[in-house]
Chains A and B, each alone.
Chain A
């Protein structure tokens, strides 16, 4: 089944404790991205990757890191989480991002609480 998977689905952590949220897609998509969703603010893009070893900042990259060593995986790293990073996180992928014609496929989400 074609899908985007994220792990963990739920995570409670404390301020400053490094964490990684994994994202994997099995559709051979070139483009992957991370979003966070907060009430009243909608979806905001954190980072995106046009292809392997190519990553770039989205609208709200502060406090986050990403890597794209393989086509299928795009982990999101919070080196020192803070309470304002408490949010619902989504990974998404699409075959390419040229002109916005392509459907984005979203993962199930990771709900993060930083105490």
Chain B
């Protein structure tokens, strides 16, 4: 399996609910990034969490990192229809490697 795997592959929720997606990776990292991709468009950087950080917030986004488990989670609180997108984690191991992404659908 690849460095950086997201789980679940797809997630469907109602507007106002929280969405949680997870990323697991294999090797030691300096940091982990999360990106968002609206359908068929370029990825947009959301947040970076350093390996010595456990949690980071940005607006409605909360990212956690557990280096002992080699995993990270992205929580979107009070989701909106506009949050419908694919979300990717990315780790650096000599080069930036993206996971396969979680597709989030937020129903109005």
Q: Which residues of B contact A48 (CB under 8 A)?
A: 95
- Measured in the bound complex, the distance between the Cα atoms of B97 and A97 in whole Å is 12
Residue A107 lies at the interface, judged by CB distance under 8 Å to chain B = yes
Q: Which residues of B contact A100 (CB under 8 A)?
A: 29-31, 33, 90-92, 96
Dominant SS at the B interface? strand
Q: Which residues of B contact A111 (CB under 8 A)?
A: 40
Given contacts A42-B88, A108-B42, A109-B40, contact A58 B95 (CB under 8 A): yes
26 pairs across A/B with beta carbons < 8 Å?
A4-B42, A35-B98, A40-B100, A41-B100, A42-B2, A42-B88, A43-B98, A45-B96, A90-B42, A92-B42, A97-B95, A97-B96, A99-B31, A100-B31, A100-B33, A100-B91, A100-B92, A101-B48, A103-B45, A104-B90, A104-B96, A106-B44, A107-B42, A108-B41, A108-B42, A111-B40
Chain B residues within CB distance 8 Å of chain A? 2, 29-31, 33, 35, 40-45, 48, 88, 90-92, 95-96, 98-101
Contact size range, A: 20 to 34
Give the total number of A-B pairs whose CB atoms are below 8 A apart: 58
Whether B41 pairs with A109 at a CB distance below 8 angstroms is yes
Whether A42 pairs with B45 at a CB distance below 8 angstroms is no
